[in-house]
Amino acid sequence: MKKSLSIKEIAALSGVSVATVSRVLNDNGRFSEETRQKVLKVIKENNYQVNSIAQTLRSQRSTTIGMIVPDIKNGFFANLINQIEATLFTRGYSTIICTTDKDSAKETAYLKALDAKLVDGLICISGQEYLDLSVMSRRIPLVCIDRNPNVKGEVGFVQSDNLTGGTVASQHLISEGCQQIAIVSKSDGPSSIQKRVEGAVNEINQHPNVNYQLLLSDRKDLSNYARGVDIAKELVKQTQPVDGVFATNDWLAWGIIQGLKDHGVHVPTQVKVVGYDNDDICEILQPSLTTISQNIPELAEEAANLLLKMIHIDNGNDGVIEKKRVPVELIVRDSA
Amino acid sequence: MKKSLSIKEIAALSGVSVATVSRVLNDNGRFSEETRQKVLKVIKENNYQVNSIAQTLRSQRSTTIGMIVPDIKNGFFANLINQIEATLFTRGYSTIICTTDKDSAKETAYLKALDAKLVDGLICISGQEYLDLSVMSRRIPLVCIDRNPNVKGEVGFVQSDNLTGGTVASQHLISEGCQQIAIVSKSDGPSSIQKRVEGAVNEINQHPNVNYQLLLSDRKDLSNYARGVDIAKELVKQTQPVDGVFATNDWLAWGIIQGLKDHGVHVPTQVKVVGYDNDDICEILQPSLTTISQNIPELAEEAANLLLKMIHIDNGNDGVIEKKRVPVELIVRDSA
């Protein structure tokens, strides 16, 4: 592999001083356009690569963003991460992704690692409710997505409008004639999911002729799909049968549909089902799944913009705590 | 946020010299157990954090691994990345993930970024056929998974036994009585996918009474699922109907099943279908999908072990080029 030139060697080859080469490399201070061209030519011809670690230490800027995510196997997270990465890349930033599996020891280890690599900013998606930033040696601009930051200082917060998502889902079921609605979620869900339930309950309470029941699965040992199948067993046993289900996750919704089918209950003729997330599976299932779509491109754009804004603001400014709420959309398919 | 103590302050608080603190921190040189305990106590009480960047520059070890992946939205990749990360974490390494979208400009940018962050090793999963490591300023231990490294020097190579995967898939179709088999793949697939096709063709050629046709979708504008639906349209037009399909990807297989269903062809009674990857969707589809499962835990373990072995070998050793081939497994479900 080619050995990098030193700045001294570049200076000699360009016929300028070391200080001038340094100014050109850092685009900092005075030099003529002619000098700049001369130095860049030598650099290009010799494939010189700036020693980024040393440069990072000097400038305290790494043009790298760290992203802490609980789980990349979840389709919604994967799509979101992908979009944020793509957006930041067009703005000149590399994104390094760390997955924590919702394990707080891992979260701490990765915060320290990202701190040590002098990332310019952090994006934290969902995960634990409490984020312990005290492990970091410096204050780093931070944007949280779909998790309540619960931290002091400059923090941006971007989230989907989960409350409206729940409202719209139950509105749709009611407009389709449902009067006995089951709201199905997980007892261990984060606040973003609790908001969906809250929205649905609030809406149903506006309609005196509509009843609801709340079913929260506590089966942490099961996948979302298996939890749905499990909940369906409960639903078919009830004396007053449900005619509508709002599940706070698409895989959960699909498990319910399959579980109902196993007991001879047809979706959508007997029970209508609405999911949440607009996962890639929604389109390929039969019946295809009516769901609430989170606007992933807009979530990504807002998070990236907010973080870059915080990075470029003078560090002394403590007042930047912005909150952005991104609208959601009902996608009507065959299940409701 | 708490300000870190300097080494000088730690020395003063511990009543030892700066050089001794440094030796304790780096676990390097001579000091008594009593001294070590004294220094560590001060560090612990004051929540001292070693300046990792400076330490990395000194030691040239960052206990960080970089992982270059084409796409985290693909379930197989997401599972594999997750397992590798978990394995490396238990061995004391943090993993930073960079997604390239199969874009060679991005791949180059991320290789440079990982180089600059002094990662101790690299894992590259699939992606472009050719990996240009000349952009890096130093030789970094590298393990490629499911992509032919095509690079000089110390490279580890771990892959699934794709050839056997294709063989086993067509063996299963033949044992189920199929005699007109369509092998469906993508014209733009990487070598790992071409191997699956090769294995299937080789096996069918052993059976004079079995015919095959190869259908390669070149519709880069379509998702795997949509390509499958598209191919199914071709299949139903044929005068000699197929009775078995091997698709080199589960989403492709599911598109074919749906496309056949749309034309009144039933799976598995009229056509049997085998997919590849054992994606999470296989279990939740109806019919559930018979597929070839790649052993993700073993792929992850082999890749992590190989990389750590290369990292700990003296850098002067040029001879380490290991190849590991990980067995696959047929998972029989309802579609074949």
Helices (H) and strands (E) in chain B, counts: 12, 12
Determine which helix (DSSP H) or strand (DSSP E) holds A212, and give its type and residue range: strand A211-217
Higher pLDDT, A13 or A176: A176
Query: Which pLDDT belongs to residue A53?
Result: 46
**What distance in Å separates the CA atoms of residue B237 and residue B232, rounded to the nearest whole number?**
9
Flag whether A333 is in a domain: no
Whether A179 has a pLDDT exceeding 90, the answer reads yes
**What distance in Å separates the CA atoms of residue A19 and residue A8, rounded to the nearest whole number?**
9
Q: Tokens standing for A254?
A: 């699909």
- Within 10 angstroms of residue A104's Cβ, the number of other Cβ atoms is 13
* pLDDT tens by residue, B297-320: 999 999 999 999 888 875 444 555
Indicate the residue of B81, B86, B117 with minimum beta-carbon distance to A117: B117
Indicate the residue of B89, B139, B286 with minimum beta-carbon distance to A1: B139
Flag whether A256 is in a domain: yes
Backbone angles phi, psi at A89, to 5 degrees: -60, -40
Q: Are residues B120 and B221 in the same domain?
A: no
For residue B2, the chain A residues in CB contact (below 8 A) are: 134
For residue A136, the chain B residues in CB contact (below 8 A) are: 1
Q: Are residues B134 and B36 in the same domain?
A: no
Residue B25 one-letter amino acid = L
Q: Which of B2, B96, B114, B223 would you mutate first to test chain A, the one with the most A CBs within 10 A? A: B96
**What distance in Å separates the CA atoms of residue B25 and residue B21, rounded to the nearest whole number?**
6
> What is the distance of C-alpha A334 from the center of its chain?
28
Q: Are residues A203 and A255 in the same domain?
A: yes
Give the number of beta-carbon pairs within 8 Å between A and B. 144
Flag whether A18 is in a domain: yes
Q: Are residues B207 and B250 in the same domain?
A: yes
**What distance in Å separates the CA atoms of residue B238 and residue A105, rounded to the nearest whole number?**
58
Q: Are residues A204 and A268 in the same domain?
A: yes
Which residues between 203 and 222 in chain A have a beta carbon less than 8 angstroms from any beta carbon of chain B?
none
Indicate the residue of B138, B258, B284 with minimum beta-carbon distance to A1: B138
Q: Are residues B277 and B168 in the same domain?
A: yes
- Contact in structure between A31 and A20 (CB atoms under 8 Å): yes
Query: Which pLDDT belongs to residue A146?
Result: 84
Please indicate whether, in this complex, the C-beta atoms of B137 and A51 are within 8 angstroms of each other: yes
B58 pLDDT tier (thresholds 50, 70, 90): very low
Flag whether A57 is in a domain: no
Flag whether B30 is in a domain: yes
Query: Which pLDDT belongs to residue B168?
Result: 98
Whether A303 has a pLDDT exceeding 90, the answer reads yes
For residue B120, the chain A residues in CB contact (below 8 A) are: none
Q: Are residues A155 and A189 in the same domain?
A: no
Instruction: Show Cβ contacts of residue B6 under 8 Å, excluding neighbours closer than 6 positions.
Output: none
* pLDDT tens by residue, B264-282: 999 999 999 999 999 989 9
Higher pLDDT, B252 or A321: B252
B307 vs chain A: nearest CA distance in angstroms? 19
State the CATH number of the domain containing residue A41.
1.10.260.40
As a whole number, the mean pLDDT across chain A is: 86
For residue A82, the chain B residues in CB contact (below 8 A) are: 71-73, 99, 101
Please indicate whether, in this complex, the C-beta atoms of B89 and A79 are within 8 angstroms of each other: no
Which residues between 297 and 336 in chain A have a beta carbon less than 8 angstroms from any beta carbon of chain B?
none
Q: Tokens standing for B125?
A: 């999963």
Flag whether B264 is in a domain: yes
Mean pLDDT value of segment A209-213: 97
Q: Are residues A301 and A203 in the same domain?
A: no
**What distance in Å separates the CA atoms of residue B87 and residue B92, rounded to the nearest whole number?**
9
* pLDDT tens by residue, A57-77: 445 567 889 999 988 888 889
Percent composition of chain B: helix, strand, coil (DSSP 3-state, to 5): 45, 20, 40
Query: Which pLDDT belongs to residue B185?
Result: 97
ipTM computed for the complex: 0.71
Indicate the residue of A49, A110, A137 with minimum beta-carbon distance to B49: A137
Q: Are residues A155 and A166 in the same domain?
A: no
Q: Are residues A202 and A89 in the same domain?
A: no
Instruction: Show Cβ contacts of residue B46 under 8 Å, excluding neighbours closer than 6 positions.
Output: B5, B10, B13
Indicate the residue of A72, A138, A225 with minimum beta-carbon distance to B1: A138
Flag whether A335 is in a domain: no
State the CATH number of the domain containing residue B280.
3.40.50.2300
Domain that holds residue B16: 7-50
Q: Are residues B102 and B222 in the same domain?
A: no
A210 pLDDT tier (thresholds 50, 70, 90): very high
Q: A254 at the B interface (CB within 8 A)?
A: yes
Please indicate whether, in this complex, the C-beta atoms of A136 and B73 are within 8 angstroms of each other: no
A203 vs chain B: nearest CA distance in angstroms? 31
Instruction: Show Cβ contacts of residue A128 under 8 Å, excluding neighbours closer than 6 positions.
Output: A102, A104, A107, A147
B271 vs chain A: nearest CA distance in angstroms? 19
Burial class (CB in 10 A: 0-12, 13-18, 19+), A200: buried
Q: A78 at the B interface (CB within 8 A)?
A: yes
Residue A204 one-letter amino acid = I
Flag whether B105 is in a domain: yes
Number of domains in chain A: 3
CA end-to-end span of chain B = 60
Q: B135 at the A interface (CB within 8 A)?
A: yes
**What distance in Å separates the CA atoms of residue B242 and residue A304, rounded to the nearest whole number?**
50
**What distance in Å separates the CA atoms of residue A8 and residue B86, rounded to the nearest whole number?**
44
For residue B122, the chain A residues in CB contact (below 8 A) are: none
Q: Are residues A135 and A189 in the same domain?
A: no
* pLDDT tens by residue, B141-160: 899 998 776 666 668 889 99
